[in-house]
Amino acid sequence: MSAASNYTEDRTLDFWLKNNSQSTTSPTTVFVALFTSDPSLGSTDENLEAGTISNECQGGGYERQTVTFGTISNGSVSNNANVTFPTATDNNWGTITHVAVMDADGEFVDGDSAGSGNVLFYGRLTTAREILQDDTFQITSNSLTVTLA
């Protein structure tokens, strides 16, 4: 994935070119979120950056999962461990087409249409996958790559 949200782009430029005037700090933990369509389509920048994206999975048992990354090399980094989502319970999650790296766990509160946090990077899966009740979804080690181009 090589698409960065405006949130990430602005803070990256600010950090490197303006002496970090926005007091950007890195999140202590990052999470993977699953989407049934491109999270940037039909979303305002504010929605994409505030995690209020309506096409994030919301089926029974779904929750964002922690992801860790290995060594950065040549502007690219990949996850260094499997990321396994819980079993889909109660209903189907739909067809997963996109993933995003987020800066918050995105707990759904009081009927929110989506969880909290900012999208950092997002992209399309190589192969979409339908998640039915009792299925699990896993991103194997070194399969999620973030590249700055």
Residues of the chain where predicted confidence (pLDDT) is lower than 50: 42-44, 47, 50-51, 109-113
Beta pairing partners, 111: none
Cβ distance 10 to 49 under 8 Å?
A: no
Given a contact cutoff of 8 angstroms between Cβ atoms, the answer to whether 66 and 27 are in contact is: no
In whole angstroms, give the CA distance from residue 25 to residue 7. Answer: 13
pLDDT single digits (tens) 4-24: 877 788 888 887 787 776 667
Count of C-beta atoms within a 10 Å radius of residue 45: 12
